[in-house]
Structure 1
């Protein structure tokens, strides 16, 4: 039994960041030694001082799609909100979605968006009341979505986002996420260039983040929690960079819990990584033995979330909860647009 409440902490609401900083790399950075629990306070761009030539940064290059659509039910004009969760690879223009209010979206119901520029028909009702819908449109789906859709910000962000790009990493490439891999939001192109010039390799993997990321754990014994599954791609190039780093004694440093889960999902027992594509529902919590990842750049996560559990698996629950307690005292900014933490083995005085 592993108790959910072991991963709780007190967070004053005013510390939940509502808006991104104008300069991405000027957020604060807490550096935590995973072995000793010692920590220090820096600015994010100082991360370069903790990276060594021969290390490798693993980035998740997924791109958030404007997955929230507001439409009306054909026939009644009732307002309906649709959130795209995942594309059905086997059926054309078919998605699994979340619908509010659900009772208006029975099988056969048709929903119109943007005065009929996009129309959806409800085909089925599946787990958790999610709907399977099929879209009809003229033109290119992605362009219509860019025009009509909104960024699906997490529920704890109440401000409207002025600039859509601020909920994307600067290296976002492959469209498909319903949420951003937020640890990467702190990087600028200039900082990444400086990191590469220092001799640090960069490996890009893709994991399309689902909204299950924000789904609360509802079971007392966390071992009973079932993770949602998410689509990932690890290219041969990324696998080669990671394996080369390992072979030469460098550290594999993942940017974010999504990169961590991708690499640990595909890793062999000896820590090598194959090129692979698939779906993962890996759940990492204390007791887990990491096969490939050595260090982690991450944000500050929700109490009792699977993300706090993953971080605790790498740095130890006591170390993490102590760091979070200090982050609250020092008024760090929390969650998606908040500050960052580097869990590392660098010596801290």
Structure 2
């Protein structure tokens, strides 16, 4: 088990960072990785159905992404970017602000041609985040949908053709500021075929925070502090998953956010528990998984906690070898990149 940050680094040519989503969604590439034998196969994502079997349970994070990036201006005309991070109450948000030093306590940011949103700076937190209250007429979510832009990661420079392409087809509710990107590969048609095969689908919710892009900056990864995220595990999903575990059926997590939610919601007897909570669970090699048997995931950033989680699910040596092969085969990486199925 390695806890050295440098052991989770790899060389990625810039042209392999996915800039646009696959069209159709399920035509992205898929690498199948057998974590016991190390065998690798190269497929398309729609071939995932051949790797699933009757009785499997597919667990997905059905959170919605909000268009969290807003462009506004001060009364002086100076342009400011407001990035919504976390809702504190009905009209109050914790935010990041571009050129933050330009905005003082009590000053306002006017957003929209007709000032549909007016944000006032109330507090500056120790970590540099800002607390803003919003004044508006009507429904905040509707105004946000009209004025906001999808919070694409900083490594994506291409414009998004439509907002829904940074949203899973099964998104239900939530206020995530980043997409659970492993789920972006699924289409309604593919999900219907998966159900017809006898695979059960269980929904849970984890509101993905901006910390998901935060790099690890300590050479000993154990010194890294994870960001906290809000989750919910519905009773119906708990019944499906616990019954499957009792019967020896596979639990397949769609994405690292699903894994983090599941592994944060297990009692001392290994049973999944329903409810809401927050988690800052950090999964790295040496971790013993209690619920998850297989994982669908994208290819993650070098030196990231997500790469460590995937390494924990198989082994660091196998994953670093897999990533090297993915670079050679010119797979696309990160949020709009290709996928792998580790089983």
- Tell me if both proteins adopt one fold, taking TM over 0.5 as the criterion: yes
The equivalent residue for 1:7 is 8
The equivalent residue for 1:347 is none
Deviation of 1:175 (Å)? 2.9
The equivalent residue for 2:187 is 188
The equivalent residue for 1:78 is 78
The equivalent residue for 2:69 is 68
| Deviation digits for residues 244-285 of structure 1 (CA, Å, limit 9, x no counterpart) | 110111010000000000000011233310101011111100
How far apart, in 1, do the equivalents of 2:154 and 2:249 lie? 38
Alignment equivalent of 2:108, drawn from 101, 107, 110: 110
Aligned CA-pair RMSD? 0.9
- Give 4+ residue runs of structure 1 displaced > 4 Å after superposition: none
The equivalent residue for 1:287 is 286
Deviation of 1:36 (Å)? 2.1
How far apart, in 2, do the equivalents of 1:238 and 1:4 lie? 35
1:50 is aligned to 2:51: yes
In structure 1, the gaps of 5 or more residues are 345-349
The equivalent residue for 1:333 is 332
How far apart, in 1, do the equivalents of 2:52 and 2:23 lie? 25
Equivalent pair of 2:174/2:205 in contact (CA under 8 Å):
no
The equivalent residue for 1:249 is 248
The equivalent residue for 2:323 is 324
Equivalent pair of 1:54/1:248 in contact (CA under 8 Å):
no
How far apart, in 2, do the equivalents of 1:240 and 1:127 lie? 42
Equivalent pair of 2:253/2:295 in contact (CA under 8 Å):
yes
Equivalent pair of 2:20/2:158 in contact (CA under 8 Å):
yes
Please list, as runs of the form range in 1=range in 2, the aligned pairs for 1:1-349 lying within 5 A after superposition.
2-74=3-75, 76-88=76-88, 91-114=89-112, 115-344=114-343
How far apart, in 1, do the equivalents of 2:163 and 2:270 lie? 37
Deviation of 1:92 (Å)? 3.1
How far apart, in 2, do the equivalents of 1:175 and 1:310 lie? 24
How far apart, in 2, do the equivalents of 1:150 and 1:309 lie? 30
| Deviation digits for residues 218-256 of structure 1 (CA, Å, limit 9, x no counterpart) | 111100100111110100001111101101110100000
SS in structure 2 of the partner of residue 266 of structure 1: coil
How far apart, in 1, do the equivalents of 2:127 and 2:151 lie? 19
How far apart, in 1, do the equivalents of 2:154 and 2:16 lie? 15
Deviation of 1:61 (Å)? 0.3
How far apart, in 2, do the equivalents of 1:328 and 1:86 lie? 35
How far apart, in 2, do the equivalents of 1:233 and 1:106 lie? 36
In structure 2, the gaps of 5 or more residues are none
How far apart, in 2, do the equivalents of 1:307 and 1:172 lie? 21
Between 60-69 and 34-43, report the one with greater CA deviation. Answer: 34-43
Deviation of 1:82 (Å)? 0.6
Equivalent pair of 2:283/2:309 in contact (CA under 8 Å):
yes
How far apart, in 1, do the equivalents of 2:90 and 2:323 lie? 45
How far apart, in 1, do the equivalents of 2:267 and 2:199 lie? 23
How far apart, in 2, do the equivalents of 1:12 and 1:21 lie? 19
TM-score, structure 2 length as denominator?
0.98
Deviation of 1:35 (Å)? 1.7
How far apart, in 2, do the equivalents of 1:58 and 1:69 lie? 32
Equivalent pair of 1:56/1:201 in contact (CA under 8 Å):
yes
Deviation of 1:38 (Å)? 1.5
Equivalent pair of 2:107/2:121 in contact (CA under 8 Å):
yes
How far apart, in 2, do the equivalents of 1:106 and 1:220 lie? 36
TM-score, structure 1 length as denominator?
0.96
